[in-house]
């Protein structure tokens, strides 16, 4: 897998954020979940803390803990500056200030790094890049994807999105993608085409409101199933 570390901007969310971004119920959390493009998020670590198991996939998992830790350090100040220069794009309700946000993200990534180092041979972190997932058909109940599809609408075309969602639906009964905004916090221009092309292929697509909004108007997820 030819991934250059310079292409990766690590920014990981917490277990609690995942639960709300994807409106995961207790029942959902007890199912077989694969979480795609998980990067340095702490969802997997949080699940382990609850005595549950989830598989995370991301191309950065070809790197070891120390390499990912260094990359987090290298990019942290730029990301922090971007947030401080664009405060109007976010809802500062539960996370009151940019400093709180940076602290929260660093806490989540620190939790990820610890779990990642401890779990290398448990198979919970699998190096894989969409639109391909190295799992058999119907291996999971739910496939999640946070802040990758739709977020990078400027560099990932509609074809990539459609192939990726179909792949997520091949390995799981249902795919959930959050948010439906691009990196500038604008509604992703890909949502319409992805919805209509998947509909033509017989998939059921719905948009659900979720109890999480940090990017303004970013409280919607796409739920796709084979119908
Ligand atoms: C902004 S981060 C999101 C991390 C995590 N999902 C979260 O919400 O906290 C985007 C992630 O997408 C990953 N990524 C890049 N190319 C990918 C691909 N082709 N397939 C899957 N993930 C990819 C990056 O390595 C990075 O970890």
Residue ranges per structural domain of the chain: 5-225
What percent of the chain is predicted at pLDDT more than 70? 96
Residue bearing the CA closest to ligand 1, atom 23: 37
Residue bearing the CA closest to ligand 1, atom 17: 129
Which atom in ligand 1 lies closest to the alpha carbon of residue 35? 6
Per-residue pLDDT, 8:
66
Categorize the per-residue pLDDT at 27 as very low, low, confident or very high, splitting at 50, 70 and 90.
Answer: very high
Residue 183 has pLDDT above 90, yes or no: no
Per-residue pLDDT, 14:
97
CA separation for the pair 151, 200 (Å, rounded): 23
| CB distance 44 to ligand 1 below 6 Å | no
| CB distance 38 to ligand 1 below 6 Å | yes
How far does residue 147's CA lie from ligand 1's centre (Å)? Answer: 7
Residue bearing the CA closest to ligand 1, atom 26: 39
| CB distance 46 to ligand 1 below 6 Å | no
Superfamily per CATH, domain 5-225: Vaccinia Virus protein VP39 (3.40.50.150)
Give tens-digit pLDDT for 41-74: 999 999 999 999 999 999 999 999 999 999 999 9
pTM: 0.96
Which atom in ligand 1 lies closest to the alpha carbon of residue 37? 22
Per-residue pLDDT, 188:
97
**How high is the mean pLDDT of the chain?**
94
114-124: average pLDDT: 91
CA-based nearest residue to 180, from 146, 157, 155: 146
The b-or-e profile of 174-189 (16+ CB within 10 A means b, else e) is: bbbbbbbbbbebebbe
Residue bearing the CA closest to ligand 1, atom 18: 129
Per-residue pLDDT, 150:
96
Per-residue pLDDT, 1:
42
Alpha-carbon distances of 160 from 150, 197, 219, rounded to whole Å: 10, 12, 23
Residue bearing the CA closest to ligand 1, atom 12: 37
Which of the residue ranges 30-34, 92-96, 202-206 would you say has the lowest mean pLDDT?
92-96
183-200: average pLDDT: 96
How far does residue 75's CA lie from ligand 1's centre (Å)? Answer: 15
CA-based nearest residue to 135, from 163, 174, 170: 170
Which atom in ligand 1 lies closest to the alpha carbon of residue 108? 9
Residue 5 has pLDDT above 90, yes or no: no
């Amino acid at each position: 897998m030819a991934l250059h570390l310079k292409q990766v901007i690590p920014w990981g969310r917490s277990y609690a954020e995942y639960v709300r971004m994807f409106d995961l119920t207790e029942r959902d959390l007890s199912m077989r979940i694969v979480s795609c493009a998980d990067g340095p998020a702490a969802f997997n670590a949080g699940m382990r803390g609850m005595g549950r198991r989830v598989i995370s996939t991301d191309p950065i998992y070809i790197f070891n803990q120390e390499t990912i830790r260094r990359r987090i350090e290298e990019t942290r100040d730029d990301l922090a500056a971007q947030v401080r220069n664009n405060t109007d794009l976010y809802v500062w309700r539960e996370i009151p200030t940019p400093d709180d946000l940076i602290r929260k993200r660093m806490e989540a990534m620190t939790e990820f790094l610890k779990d990642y180092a401890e779990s290398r041979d448990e198979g919970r972190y699998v190096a894989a890049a969409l639109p391909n997932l190295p799992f058999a058909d119907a291996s999971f109940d739910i496939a999640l994807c946070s802040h990758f599809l739709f977020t990078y609408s400027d560099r990932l075309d509609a074809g990539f999105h459609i192939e990726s969602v179909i792949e997520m639906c091949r390995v799981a009964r249902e795919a959930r993608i959050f948010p439906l905004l691009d990196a500038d916090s604008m509604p992703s221009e890909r949502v319409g085409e992805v919805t209509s092309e998947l509909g033509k292929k017989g998939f059921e697509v719905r948009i659900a409101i979720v109890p999480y909004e940090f990017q303004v108007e970013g409280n919607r997820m796409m739920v796709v199933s084979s119908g």
